[in-house]
Structure 1
Amino acid sequence: SAIFAGEAGAANLKEKLIKQLNDENRDARIRAAQALIVLAKNEHPQDEIVVSDVYEASKEYPRYSEGSILPLNDGSLLYATTQFIGSGSDFATARIIAKKSTDGGRTWGKQRVLQENTGKKNVMSATLRYLAGPLQEKRPIGLFYLKKNTLSDLKAYLKVSDDNGKTFGPPIEITTPPGYHVMNNDRITILSNGRWLAPVASTPDVHKNNHFVCTCFISDDQGKTWKQSTGNVDYAKRGAMEPEVFELRDGNVLMIFRTQSGHIGSSLSCDKGDTWSEPVSWGVRAPEAPATLRRIPSTGDLLLIWNDNFEPGAGHSGKRTPLTAAKSDDEGKTWKLKKNLETDADHTYSYISLTFHDGRAVMSYYVGDENRLISSRFRSIPLTWFYEPTAD
């Protein structure tokens, strides 16, 4: 039973395997333990979609948003988000907190503070990244975040952990020029040549000016020092906002960004993020809201998560619903198998983080309700779901 039970998924033999852990034969004990591990991994259906509001809003904490999830080396998930205290305003007091799951996001451990509020207003908008490849023995973890002081002083910082996220070192300032620099959650990109890109939308003053221009802050020394890109990306109305940067197969870097024009904007860099082409529509309709783009490791296809909606004249050019996913096998030129993740018209969904773990797309996003409370939702979907034909 110890040899075949695990691979066969024979859960009815579980009690016998537990007894076999005390067998006189050492090899039998080892095989029983191995079989129990396999059974534990297989006890949940492979097609299960796991969804829960891990951080549920309340009167005391009315907003949890702008999060990031990192699959750790031990197989657990570290889920960071921004906790706003007393108010859901962008300028309310806030800090970055985290929870850990050891069962794929079905249950979560005790909450802890990753970054206390050190700003005059808040700290917010977390990005968690491993800063070295999976083959390296020591993999430091980077916590990227924003510190907000005033309407004209918002900056991005990096802290590094060398103990798997238990503690973090001193802050490194990324956005050194003065101004209000918005870097969304879950946005840092590490290129194939080792360069780090921090995409930022900047304005001199979010109240007096409120027109944003995108640049990248670039590090070629593993985050120790940063420089701003030579080129920038501007757009109509409020400008180019909340950018994401993404390395294409040909080595060029794509920037997509939020606009007020009813579509996702785009620009291309042929020099790893230093200069940028004249921006154009990416051809994907959207309200004034950010989109998230990743490459599926197992297939190489692109996966886009965004709000597939546009209402001319409405606030934010339409509600941030539905929350939609689509895949592309031609580097974003066309999109196939568009499927909705969330459709409730009374709720809004935005600020998505997205990663991949154990053959699944693992994401977080905010969920706003009719009472203006914003919770942070976890969703884990088997990658096969994105390839299943739609009803229409």
Structure 2
Amino acid sequence: MPPTPATPAQPPAAPVTVTVPFRAGREGYASYRIPALVTTAKGTLLAFCEGRVDSGKDWGHIDIVLKRSTDGGRTWGPLQVAADNGANLAGNPAPVVLHTGRILLVHVRSSAAASEDLILTGKVSDADGRRVWVQHSDDDGLTWSAPRDITAQVKQPGWRWYATTPGHGIQLTGGRIVVPGNHTVPPAPGGTGAEPQYNCGHCLLSDDLGETWYLGYLDQNTDGYINVNETMAAELPDGRVYFNARNDSRSPGNRADAHSTDGGRTLVLPFRPQAGLAAPVCQGSVLQLRNPDVLLYAGPALTDARALMTVRASHDDGTTWSPVFTADGLPAAYSDLTRADQRTVGLLYETGDFGAYERIAFRRVPVTRLTG
């Protein structure tokens, strides 16, 4: 009998680099928006976003939903509701992982009927408008505490619109918690009420692990040149805090940034244009890597459309930037970054084949691709 041929060796399975934890129209929600991503002290990935029940609108019945991954984002557990406000809105998730292992979830709540236009024109009561809440998990994101209203500590009277980040907040090496935010102030007395509303920047700070909160810097530029919106923060190797923001204004480019040397209490200089980051008007995310020390930025790279999700790197604390990784050429919008493990950065971002909001994808990116 002829010898039985040896079974050819099978090539190793390709590594799982892209998964889709959230897909529009599935698991009870018409749309998923506004991703946020953290790695817990135990190494679990927590992917948060807004689950919009009825449509893709920014107001209405919206929950903060969550999926967990214990294998680096290769697979995801079942959908959880981390925060809900009944049939109203709970959104803008800003999770923070503490050195104790506790995970905070700072977010905003409002009435389902409180659209941005109604809030900006002062037609929504304080009770129905944007309010700030926090809750926590002590079991790696499996369950969450009852929420606490911290609005009186971090929102000044008269502010109308209010939003946290969106994306993850940070705990500094010294223990302080920093969660960026933005707000609008009402028109000056004697106006018509139809004056333009400019986004202004601030941050929420806590020095006691989230028990109490207070406001840090205020960047209230209302001349239309810098319009600070949707800010994220990173602690630089020298201890400074770097803030990078969407800029909906007439200054060069659509990004702005600033630094703080006192843990977010004040800014060295007000936000200024960061024209080195080509981007559309859209949220972007930042992450400071250690070993090696590289500051990363993720966001769409086209200037006139939300598409081409690209990670850029800075070796000079945000002064200059270079592209180091492009996910693909598809539509793309909001994002968040985390250090998934020693070899991998996780990128959670909105994307789709025909529009940027068809799904929220997760991508594993080798650190070596981002740092050289």
- Whether 2:365 is the aligned partner of 1:381: answer yes
How far did 1:69 drift?
A: 2.8
1:384 match: secondary structure: helix
Count how many residue pairs are aligned between Structure 1 and Structure 2.
329
- Which amino acid letter does the alignment assign opposite residue 376 of structure 1? I
- Whether 2:324 is the aligned partner of 1:356: answer no
Match of 1:62 in 2: 30
Match of 1:329 in 2: 315
Q: 1:127-160 CA deviation, whole Å, 9 max, x = no partner? A: 333222xxx5xx2121222212334321232101
Match of 2:328 in 1: 342
Residues 261-340 of structure 1 correspond to what in structure 2 (within 5 A)? 261=251, 262-276=253-267, 277-282=269-274, 283-310=276-303, 318-340=304-326
How far did 1:96 drift?
A: 1.5
- Which amino acid letter does the alignment assign opposite residue 385 of structure 1? R
How far did 1:106 drift?
A: 2.1
Query: In the superposition, relative to structure 1, how do residues 366 and 173 fare at CA in structure 2: closer, same or farther (>3 Å)?
Result: same
How far did 1:241 drift?
A: 0.8
Kindly indicate whether the alpha-carbon contact (under 8 Å) linking 1:66 and 1:184 is maintained by their aligned counterparts in 2: no
* CA distance, structure 2, for counterparts of residue 372 and residue 307 of structure 1: 10
1:224 match: secondary structure: coil
* CA distance, structure 1, for counterparts of residue 316 and residue 356 of structure 2: 39
1:229 match: secondary structure: strand
How far did 1:373 drift?
A: 4.7
How far did 1:165 drift?
A: 2.1
Query: In the superposition, relative to structure 1, how do residues 352 and 162 fare at CA in structure 2: closer, same or farther (>3 Å)?
Result: same
Q: TM-score, normalised by structure 1?
A: 0.76
Match of 2:125 in 1: none
* CA distance, structure 2, for counterparts of residue 372 and residue 336 of structure 1: 24
Kindly indicate whether the alpha-carbon contact (under 8 Å) linking 1:304 and 1:325 is maintained by their aligned counterparts in 2: yes
Whose radius of gyration is greater, 1 or 2?
A: 1
How far did 1:103 drift?
A: 2.6
- Which amino acid letter does the alignment assign opposite residue 183 of structure 1? T
Match of 1:117 in 2: 85
Percent identical across equivalent pairs?
Answer: 25
* CA distance, structure 2, for counterparts of residue 351 and residue 252 of structure 1: 25
Q: 1:103-132 CA deviation, whole Å, 9 max, x = no partner? A: 3222222222111234x6411122333222
Residues 1-392 of structure 1 correspond to what in structure 2 (within 5 A)? 48=15, 50-58=17-25, 61-118=29-86, 121-132=88-99, 136=100, 139-149=101-111, 150=114, 151=116, 152=119, 153-176=129-152, 177=155, 178=157, 179-204=160-185, 209-229=196-216, 231-234=218-221, 236=224, 239-260=227-248, 261=251, 262-276=253-267, 277-282=269-274, 283-310=276-303, 318-344=304-330, 347=331, 349-358=332-341, 359-368=343-352, 370=354, 373-387=357-371
Segment of structure 1 superposing worse, 353-362 or 151-160: 151-160
How far did 1:368 drift?
A: 4.8
Query: In the superposition, relative to structure 1, how do residues 165 and 333 fare at CA in structure 2: closer, same or farther (>3 Å)?
Result: same
Match of 2:126 in 1: none
* CA distance, structure 1, for counterparts of residue 205 and residue 43 of structure 2: 30
2:209 match: secondary structure: coil
* CA distance, structure 2, for counterparts of residue 320 and residue 368 of structure 1: 11
Segment of structure 1 superposing worse, 140-149 or 237-246: 237-246
Structure with higher helix content: 1
Structure 1 unmatched ranges of 5 or more: 1-11, 13-42, 311-317
* CA distance, structure 2, for counterparts of residue 231 and residue 297 of structure 1: 29
How far did 1:371 drift?
A: 6.3
* CA distance, structure 2, for counterparts of residue 272 and residue 73 of structure 1: 22
* CA distance, structure 1, for counterparts of residue 293 and residue 66 of structure 2: 30
1:88 match: secondary structure: coil
Q: 1:87-111 CA deviation, whole Å, 9 max, x = no partner? A: 1000131111222223322222222
* CA distance, structure 1, for counterparts of residue 368 and residue 257 of structure 2: 28
Structure 2 unmatched ranges of 5 or more: 1-8, 120-128, 188-192
After superposition, the CA RMSD in angstroms is 2.7
